[in-house]
Amino acid sequence: MTQQLKNVMLSSVELFCAVAEHKSFTQAAKIAGLTPAAVSRSIARLEQRLNTQLFVRSTRQVRLTHAGEIYFQQCQQGLTQIIEAEQLLRNQSQQLNGRIRISLPTPYGHYRVLPLIPIFKQTYPNIQIDLQLTNKNVDFIAEGFDLAIRGRYFKDSNLIVRTLEHAELVVVAAASYIDSHTRPTDIAALDQHECLQFILPSTGKSVPWLFKVNNQIHEYTTKGSLHCLDDILGTVTLAKHGAGLLQTYRFIVAQDIQNRQFVELLHPFAGASRPFSLVYPSQKYASAHIRTFIDFLITHLKTDVL
């Protein structure tokens, strides 16, 4: 079907219909914002592909051949159906409404999901979206949430979990920190550095750092006197101002590494990642507006996962 659509030359068909309707290459060119010569070349390519003459041209008029008349009738019907199909979908988008409550982890929300919300709202303006940015697990029933995205989540047979991506981790530090400290060359050297800590709300403990050694993932408990208790992006701000080393997601600091605001460290031990998953109760997929939003997130966020 895809190859057939490529062969149809849909733009040339639209120009053909415009010329046939107005009996003028010049008028069709004005409507399409093209030159008459461009329209003529497009029709010529169409005739060549069909191996059929569609128009009889003279200095005074343009008229369809018998084959052109048959082709025009069929093309008009086809284009009308396409227009009606698009109008139907637009009407459905306008009519779809409802409220969606979604809980997002701070970094994934800011860097992955929030930039997509305006795109979704352009298509579905009547759907209300309540966004909560937190690193705490939510109780879907007690707190009234429809969806959540989480980097970690307990197993629950009543929940559907759809992995969106395995986000790569990277160790970074500000250039100002590196200038005044010895650059670590192995994992054990982290003990000699201030390693910025994020306290996981669900456990009250520091999140261990992950490294890939001999194709195996290893956890390493780092030490530091600076702890962020709720907002993980606080550790990024601290690191930017030279407070210490930080392990975070590459998607957060990729631009800063490129701009040399951050220096990437311990590259030989890189390659570890953590998953982010879309989580929701199974019955939520039955609601059309929620199902539409789930499908939208899956389409725009899901990458090949391990």
Q: What does the DSSP assignment read for 68-128?
A: HHHHHHHHHHHHHHHHHHHHHHHHHHHH--EEEEEEE-HHHIIIIIGGGHHHHHHH-TTEE
CB 268 within 8 A of CB 208: no
Would you say 209 and 235 are in contact if contact means Cβ atoms under 8 Å apart? Answer: no
Separation CA 209–CA 191 (nearest Å): 12
Lowest mean pLDDT among 40-44, 116-120, 264-268: 40-44
Same domain (yes/no): 205, 240: yes
| Residue 202 scores a pLDDT above 90 | no
- Helix (H) or strand (E) holding 216, with range, is strand 216-220
Domain count, the chain: 3
Task: Give the rounded percent of residues in the chain with a pLDDT score beyond 90.
Answer: 61
Average pLDDT over residues 163-179: 95
- Decide if pLDDT at 93 tops 70: no
Query: Which residue matches tokens 């929030």?
Result: 114
Tell me if the pTM is above 0.75: no
Which residues neighbour 21 within 8 Å (Cβ) at sequence distance 6 or greater?
A: none
- The answer to whether residues 183 and 154 belong to one domain is no
CA quadruple 21, 25, 30, 33: dihedral, nearest 10? 110
pLDDT class of 2 with cuts at 50, 70, 90: very low
Angle in degrees, 0-180, between the axes of helices 36-50 and 10-22, rounded to the nearest 10: 110
Specify the higher pLDDT residue, 9 or 159: 159
Could you give the angle at the alpha carbon of 106 between the alpha carbons of 104 and 107, nearest 5°? 110
Instruction: Name the residue range of residue 8's domain.
Output: 1-90
Pairing of strands 273-281, 159-174: antiparallel
pLDDT above 90: residue 95: no
pLDDT at 241: 96
Last residue of a domain, one of 27, 61, 90: 90
SS3 letters for 74-86?
A: HHHHHHHHHHHHH
Cα separations (Å) of 51 from 4, 43, 46, 47? 17, 12, 8, 6
Residue type, 286: A
Furthest-apart CA pair in the chain: how many Å?
A: 89
In the numeric block, the tokens 């060119």 are attached to 29
CATH of residue 160's domain is 3.40.190.10
* Among the listed residues 13, 9, 12, 4, the one whose alpha carbon sits nearest the alpha carbon of residue 78: 13
Residue 54 belongs to domain with CATH number: 1.10.10.10
Q: Band of the pLDDT at 306, cuts 50, 70, 90?
A: very low
Does residue 141 have a pLDDT over 80?
no
Three-state DSSP state, 247: strand
Asked if residue 200 and residue 65 are part of one domain, the reply reads no
Shared-domain flag, residues 178 and 132: no
Last residue of a domain, one of 71, 90, 109: 90
Find the range with the poorest average confidence among 91-95, 129-133, 178-182, 242-246.
91-95
Is 231 found in the same domain as 198? yes
Long-range interactions of 49-52: CB distance < 8 A, separation 24+: 49/7, 49/9
Q: What is the mean pLDDT of residues 240-261?
A: 96
* One-letter amino acid for residue 143 of the chain: E
Does 6 score more than 60 pLDDT? no
Q: How far apart are CA 210 and CA 66, in angstroms?
A: 73
More confident residue, 265 or 302: 265
Q: How high is the pLDDT of residue 305?
A: 46
Same domain, 221 and 75: no
Q: Rounded mean pLDDT of the chain?
A: 88
Mapped onto helix, strand or coil, the DSSP state of residue 214 is coil
Determine the distance from the C-alpha atom of residue 152 to the mean position of all C-alpha atoms in its chain, rounded to a whole number: 21
* pLDDT value at residue 170: 97
Q: Verify that 156 and 211 share a domain, yes or no.
A: no
